[in-house]
């Protein structure tokens, strides 16, 4: 299929231009800010940010499939959950080290992305949505009623992968790498083909593109990153139970990606951090917190079709240009 | 066998009420309303709260009257909610292909939290308005369920007649066949879509009024009803009204059958597998039109 | 020279309607062949069958001697048979350049232009259809005439040796049609075989030396445009529908 070619020198000069550009500068600033979080020594804050980082990968993986390839999945929790389960099982029952378990878990997620993707190839729109949802729900019910892998209780008491701060940097590395790779994919030739399939599948067929293969590639890549996030999620909370297959998790991915902005990949960062931090800050309001959260959600979706990231950045840029007197 | 006949009919009657409106709204406006289950939820809770309120008034002790008032309050609220949801949220987002899905999902989430906030997260029980049990073909079941079957048959017939006979109904069909052409001949498509959302809310509201009494209600129940409506609609054919009615009864009998033949613990999975098979074999559903390119 | 396309006994039914009824004809390598017929004659359906977007009920299509009946559209495209659509389509959120690149990224396009030559190839195709100054724009803001050009450009991206053009002039002003005519002539000179429809013969008259005429799913006439235009059956077919064609 696609060979990604690296020309280091031109990459480097392009990086310099990017870093000095507005968006590049903001991104680097945020990255530095993120890496400084553990230095504050606040474990609680670090924990929340870890969750946000893991969910970022999950939301971005959904965005890659839905926003770029046009395959709107309502069952993304299937990939998230299966990888989480396999990872937990390998750590707990086989005693595999966590990084190896992530590989195996993610591999299973990729296998499942084919198992789900192949039958769903012919489906579109609400049919695809319900088809993927049904797969995830079947897994949910199988794990709930079955007695394997801990049954209803799931698997718990996994070993920690390190102190919170070590874990923080591991997760940050995973997030940054995953996002850069996903963004590189959607900006590559493969990405162009996926976007073409999203915009007009018949037209892509008429342009000589084997849409079947490329849709499956999209499912696999998305399944891979959803799998990584599922594995990391389980390693972070050191437990897993059938709830990971719930439609709610699939919807979290959709909501977070949409808050940030669909078809952006990086919007998932904004969406996930807003989502996680907001739910955390509202927590002291007890019952009212989720109600406020739901209201905000409705307002964001209603009034910002592009999500909040791009419009926000535009505003900041205008302000910045004004300050610099341009 | 008699059990399957009776309980299958009951299940089918419930599913028809749930699915008909969901399918109608999709057929007319291409709107996938994920708040459909939440409409059930909110109606059931409004009925519950109103009953609670009214029974605390000393003079009012005649339960059917109390329930009747509560039902009217519940139904008119849900129809209003439907209209407001359409005007405020669905209509502005209709152009973006996923906007409606997201915003109605957020709505559903909102209602779940609203119910939890105003009430509490616990389960509640609504006393059936039709007391006692009936025995039919040697099977005894709550009389309330008989009311559900009758109510469902009457409502489904009325709505079907309304759509095939009335002027508004004809506009509804025109818009569902070709919105642009309908617009050209002067049909107010927004009005038509709002009407369908309101009819849909009314039907699902009735499902709540008829089925929630005698059952437990809790903030989470909306999702289950949404899934049922969604499944039946896919099964019968997205946007096909006869399809969703037929689909409802076929699904009703099928799930009852599997409950008896296999085991109730599988009753969650069997409908899902039926849906998957259906999607893979005949994605347009039982009576759905094959989409033209 | 020889035959590039052989269509034998091709039939397609939609329910009770036979849209293409036992159609037989051949296309010679390097020629420009026209297909005329009133609205609903079955021209588009015939194109759908040849390009693999619909499966025929019976009959066969051979391209370069290879039986392509029942093959998937992208497979047919990669054998060198590309098409345009009567109703223009585009990749809405891609720039014009990327719209063409998609076609250049097909296996056949890659073979022709090479992995590194894709952008250059897409630009030169965009230039040849006269859209190069709009390369970075999305198609949604283009006027209809430009979308027609884009439609042909996308087909060219797959480096076809045979082009099916479905109503390439529909909805175009006179000077825009002239531009497309020049483009088709140029492709013809480069050796591309062209098979195109139009439901008004005048548009095709200057361009095609040979036309076939279709009515109610059947082929009813064949020959030089002048002859077909004066053919009694053809005249009746058009008159019966109250349409003029000359
Ligand atoms: N997918 C379909 N399903 C059912 N009927 C169809 C389908 N496609 C075409 N038809 C019918 O087949 C007949 C031939 O249509 P077709 O589009 O091939 O005609 P045409 O010659 O291209 O006409 P026009 O000049 O309007 O483009 C028409 O009666 C049309 O309604
Ligand atoms: Mg045509």
Mean pLDDT, rounded, for A19-24? 78
Mean model confidence pLDDT for chain A:
89
Sequence-distant (≥ 6) Cβ neighbours of residue C32 within 8 angstroms: C184, C188, C193, C194, C195, C196, C207, C208, C209, C210
Ligand 1 — pocket residues by CB below 6 A?
B 292; C 14, 17, 19, 37, 39-45, 86, 199
Task: Answer whether B101 sits within 8 Å of A135, measured CB to CB.
Answer: no
Contact criterion met (CB < 8 Å) for A189 and C105: yes
pLDDT at residue A83 in the model: 97
Residue C173 sits at the vertex; the CA angle it makes with C168 and C174, to the nearest 5 degrees, is 90
Asked if A134's CB is within 8 angstroms of B276's CB, the reply is yes
| CATH number, domain containing residue B9 | 1.10.3470
Residues in Cβ contact with B283 at an 8 Å cutoff, skipping those fewer than 6 apart: A122, A123, A127
Of the candidates A263, A258, A265, A273, the residue with the CA atom closest to the CA atom of residue A308: A258
Residue among A234, A14, A202 nearest A124 (CA): A202
Residue of A nearest to B105 (CA): A251
Distance from CA of C48 to the nearest CA of A (A): 11
> Which atom of ligand 1 is the closest one to the Cα of C47?
18
The whole-number pLDDT of residue A176 equals 95
Residue C158 forms contact with A (CB below 8 Å): yes
pLDDT band at B237 (very low <50, low <70, confident <90, very high): confident
Reply yes or no on whether the pLDDT at C15 is more than 50: yes
Using the predicted structure, report yes or no on whether residue A156 has a pLDDT greater than 80.
Answer: yes
A14 vs B292 pLDDT, higher one: A14
**Most B-contacting residue of A74, A251, A293 (CB-CB within 10 A), to test interface:** A251
Q: What are phi and psi of A177, to 5 degrees?
A: -65, -45
Distance (Å, whole) CA A109 – CA C214: 53
Q: Which of C10, C45, C56 to mutate to test the pocket of ligand 1 (most atoms within 8 A of CB)?
A: C45
For A287, what's the count of Cα atoms within 13 Å in the CB-facing half-sphere?
A: 13
Q: Taking CB atoms and an 8 Å cut-off, how many pairs form between chains A and B?
A: 105
Q: To 10 degrees, the CA torsion angle through A262, A263, A267, A273?
A: 60
The confidence band for C245, taking pLDDT boundaries of 50, 70 and 90, is low
Residue C210: Cβ within 10 Å count: 16
Instruction: Specify whether the CB–CB gap between A176 and A54 falls below 8 A.
Output: no
CB contact under 8 A, B117 and A255: no
Q: Is residue B41's pLDDT more than 70?
A: yes
Q: Hey, where are the domains in chain A?
A: 42-247
Touching A (3+ Cβ pairs <8 A), the chains are B, C
B58 located within any domain: yes
Q: Predicted confidence band at A326 (pLDDT cuts at 50, 70, 90)?
A: low
pLDDT tens-digit readout, B11-27: 999 999 999 999 999 88
| Model pLDDT for residues B120-162, shown as the tens digit of each residue | 888 989 888 888 888 888 888 888 899 999 999 999 999 999 9
List C-alpha distances in Å: C34 to C129, C163, C228.
21, 12, 11
Region class of B239: left (phi > 0), else alpha (psi between -120 and 50), else beta: left
In a domain, residue B168? The reply is yes
Whether pLDDT at B291 is above 50:
no
| Residues paired with C32 in a beta bridge | C194
Question: What span, in angstroms and rounded, lies between the C-alpha atoms of B9 and A193?
Answer: 49
- As a whole number of angstroms, the distance between CA C62 and CA A260 comes to 51
Mean per-residue pLDDT, C49-55: 95
How near does any CA of chain B get to the CA of A312, in Å?
A: 19
Instruction: List, in sequence order, every residue forming a beta bridge with B139; answer none if it has no partner.
Output: B136
Of the given ranges (B164-173, C24-33, C60-69), which has the lowest mean pLDDT? B164-173
The confidence score (pLDDT) of residue A103 equals 95
Check if the beta carbon of residue B93 is closer than 8 Å to that of residue B100: yes
Residue B289 counted as domain residue:
no
Note the pLDDT of residue C1.
Answer: 62
Closest-lying ligand 1 atom to the alpha carbon of residue C42 = 18
pLDDT higher than threshold 90 for residue B83: yes
Cβ-nearest to A130 among B89, B109, B230? B230
Q: Do C93 and A3 touch (CB under 8 A)?
A: no
ipTM metric: 0.92
Residue A141, pLDDT above cutoff 70:
yes
Contact B223, B2 (CB under 8 A): no
Quick one: pLDDT band at residue A242, thresholds 50, 70, 90? very high
Distance from CA of C230 to the nearest CA of A (A): 36
Query: For a substitution probing ligand 1, which of C10, C15, C17 has the most ligand atoms within 8 Å of its CB?
Result: C17
Q: Is the confidence at residue C242, as pLDDT, over 70? A: no
Distance (Å, rounded) from C-alpha C238 to C-alpha C143?
A: 31
How high is the pLDDT of residue B290?
Answer: 47
Taking alpha carbons only, the member of C115, C106, C212 closest to residue C157 is C106
| pLDDT of A3 strictly over 60 | no
- What integer is the mean pLDDT of A186-214? 96
Q: What angle do CA B227, B231, B233 make, to 5 degrees?
A: 120
Residue B292 belongs to some domain of the structure: no
pLDDT for position B282: 77
DSSP states along A143-155: HHH--GGGGGG-B
User: Does A142 sit within 8 Å of B293, measured CB to CB?
Assistant: no
This prediction's pTM: 0.89
Q: Say yes or no to pLDDT of C114 above 70.
A: yes
- Nearest C-alpha neighbor of B87 from the set B222, B226, B193: B193
Note whether residue B291 is domain-resident: no
**Closest ligand to Cα C46:** 1
- The pLDDT score that the predictor gives to residue A152 is 85
Band the pLDDT of B293: cuts 50, 70, 90. very low
Question: Is B141 inside a domain boundary?
Answer: yes
Q: For atom 30 of ligand 1, which residue has the closest CA?
A: C40
- Which chain A residues are Cβ-neighbours of C101 within 8 angstroms? 189, 192
Please report, to the nearest 10 degrees, the dihedral formed by the alpha carbons of residues B43, B242, B266, B207 taken in order. 10
Query: Measured between CB atoms, does C79 come within 8 Å of chain A?
Result: no
Taking the Cβ of residue B253 and every Cβ of chain A, the question of whether any pair is shorter than 8 Å is answered with no
pLDDT at B279 > cutoff 70 = yes
In a domain, B20, yes or no: yes
8 Å CB contact of B103 and A302 = yes
Cβ contacts of residue A195 below 8 Å, gap of 6+? A68, A69, A186, C91, C93, C94, C98
Nearest CA to ligand 1 atom 18: C42
Between A49 and B255, name the one with better pLDDT. Answer: A49
Domain count, chain B: 1
In which band, very low, low, confident or very high, does the pLDDT at A30 lie, cut at 50, 70 and 90? confident
B7 in any annotated domain:
yes
Lowest mean pLDDT among A101-115, A292-306, B81-95, C180-194: A292-306
User: B224: nearest CA in chain A?
Assistant: A247
Nearest to A287 among B107, B117, B268 (CB): B117
Question: Could you tell me the end-to-end alpha-carbon distance of chain A, in angstroms, rounded to an integer?
Answer: 46
Q: Across all residues in chain C, what is the average pLDDT? A: 91
B122-126, B234-238, C2-6: least confident range: B234-238
For position C166, what pLDDT does the model report?
A: 95
Q: Where is pLDDT greater, at A42 or C239?
A: A42
Q: Mean per-residue pLDDT for A167-193?
A: 95
């Amino acid at each position: 299929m696609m060979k990604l070619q690296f020309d280091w020198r031109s990459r480097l000069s392009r990086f310099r231009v990017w870093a000095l550009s507005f968006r590049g500068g903001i991104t680097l600033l945020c990255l530095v800010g993120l890496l400084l979080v553990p230095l504050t020594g606040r474990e609680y804050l670090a924990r929340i940010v870890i969750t946000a980082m893991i969910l970022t990968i999950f939301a971005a993986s959904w965005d890659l499939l839905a926003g770029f390839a046009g395959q709107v999945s309502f069952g993304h929790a299937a990939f998230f959950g299966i990888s989480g389960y396999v990872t937990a099982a390998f750590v707990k029952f086989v005693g595999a080290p966590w990084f190896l378990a992530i590989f195996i878990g993610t591999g299973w997620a990729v296998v499942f992305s084919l198992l789900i993707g192949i039958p769903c190839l012919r489906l579109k729109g609400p049919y695809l949505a319900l088809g993927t949802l049904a797969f995830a729900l079947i897994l949910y019910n199988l794990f709930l009623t079955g007695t394997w892998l801990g049954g209803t209780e799931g698997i718990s008491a996994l070993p920690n992968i390190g102190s919170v701060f070590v874990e923080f940097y591991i997760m940050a590395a995973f997030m940054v790498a995953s996002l850069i790779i996903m963004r590189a994919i959607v900006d590559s030739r493969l990405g162009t083909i996926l976007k073409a399939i999203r915009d007009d599948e018949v037209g892509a067929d008429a342009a000589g593109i084997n849409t079947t293969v490329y849709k499956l590639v999209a499912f696999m890549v998305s399944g891979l990153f959803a799998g990584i996030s599922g594995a990391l999620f389980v390693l972070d909370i050191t437990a897993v139970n059938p709830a990971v297959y719930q439609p709610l998790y699939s919807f979290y991915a959709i909501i977070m990606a949409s808050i940030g902005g669909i078809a952006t990949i990086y919007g998932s960062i904004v969406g996930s951090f807003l989502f996680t931090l907001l739910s955390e800050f509202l927590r002291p309001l007890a019952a009212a917190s989720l109600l406020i959260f739901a209201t905000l959600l409705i307002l964001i979706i209603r009034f910002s079709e592009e999500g909040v990231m791009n419009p926000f950045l535009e505003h900041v840029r205008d302000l910045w240009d004004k300050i610099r007197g341009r | 066998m008699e059990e399957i006949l009776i309980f299958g009919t009951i299940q089918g009657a419930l599913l028809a009420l749930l699915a008909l409106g969901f399918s109608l709204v999709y057929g007319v406006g291409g709107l996938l309303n994920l708040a459909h289950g939440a409409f059930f939820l909110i109606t059931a809770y409004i009925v519950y709260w109103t009953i609670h309120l009214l029974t605390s008034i000393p003079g009012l002790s005649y339960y059917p009257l109390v329930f009747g008032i509560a039902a009217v309050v519940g139904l008119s609220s849900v129809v209003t909610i439907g209209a407001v949801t359409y005007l405020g949220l669905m209509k502005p987002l209709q152009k973006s292909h996923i906007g409606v899905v997201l915003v109605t999902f957020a709505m559903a989430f909102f209602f779940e939290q609203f119910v939890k906030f105003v009430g509490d997260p616990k389960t509640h029980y609504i006393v059936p308005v039709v007391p006692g049990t009936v025995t039919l073909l040697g099977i005894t079941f709550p009389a309330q369920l008989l009311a559900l079957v009758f109510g469902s048959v009457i409502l489904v017939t009325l709505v079907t007649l309304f759509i095939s006979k009335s002027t508004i109904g004809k506009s509804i069909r025109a818009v569902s066949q070709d919105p642009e052409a309908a617009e050209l001949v002067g049909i107010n498509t927004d009005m038509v879509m709002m009407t369908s959302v309101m009819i849909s809310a009314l039907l699902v509201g009735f499902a709540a009024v008829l089925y929630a009494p005698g059952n437990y209600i809790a903030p989470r129940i909306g999702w289950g009803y949404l899934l049922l409506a969604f499944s039946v609609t896919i099964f019968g054919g997205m946007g096909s009204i006869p399809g969703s009615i037929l689909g409802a009864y076929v699904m009703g009998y099928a799930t009852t059958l599997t409950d008896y033949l296999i085991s109730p613990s599988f009753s969650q999975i069997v409908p899902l597998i039926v849906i998957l098979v259906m999607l893979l074999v005949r994605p347009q559903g039982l009576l759905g039109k094959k989409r033209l390119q | 020279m020889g035959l590039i396309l052989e269509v034998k006994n091709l039939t397609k039914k939609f329910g009770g309607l036979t849209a293409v009824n036992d159609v037989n004809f051949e296309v010679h390598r390097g020629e420009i062949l026209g297909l005329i017929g009133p609205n609903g004659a079955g021209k588009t359906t015939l194109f759908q069958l040849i390009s693999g977007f619909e499966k025929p009920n019976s009959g066969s299509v051979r391209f370069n001697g290879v039986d392509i009946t029942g093959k998937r559209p992208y497979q047919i495209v990669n054998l060198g048979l590309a098409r345009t659509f009567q109703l223009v389509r585009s990749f809405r959120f891609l720039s014009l350049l990327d719209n063409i690149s998609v076609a250049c990224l097909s296996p056949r396009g890659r073979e022709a232009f090479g992995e590194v030559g894709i952008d250059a190839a897409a630009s030169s195709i965009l230039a040849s259809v006269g859209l190069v100054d709009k390369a970075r724009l999305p198609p949604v803001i283009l006027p209809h005439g430009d979308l027609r050009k884009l439609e042909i450009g996308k087909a060219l991206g797959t480096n076809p040796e045979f082009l099916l053009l479905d109503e390439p002039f529909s909805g175009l002003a006179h000077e825009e049609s002239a531009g497309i005519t020049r483009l088709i002539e140029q492709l013809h000179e480069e050796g591309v075989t062209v098979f195109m429809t139009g439901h008004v013969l005048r548009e095709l008259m200057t361009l095609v030396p040979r036309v076939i005429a279709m009515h109610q799913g059947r082929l009813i006439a064949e020959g030089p445009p002048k002859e077909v235009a004066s053919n009694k059956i053809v005249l009746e077919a058009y008159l019966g529908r109250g349409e003029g064609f000359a």
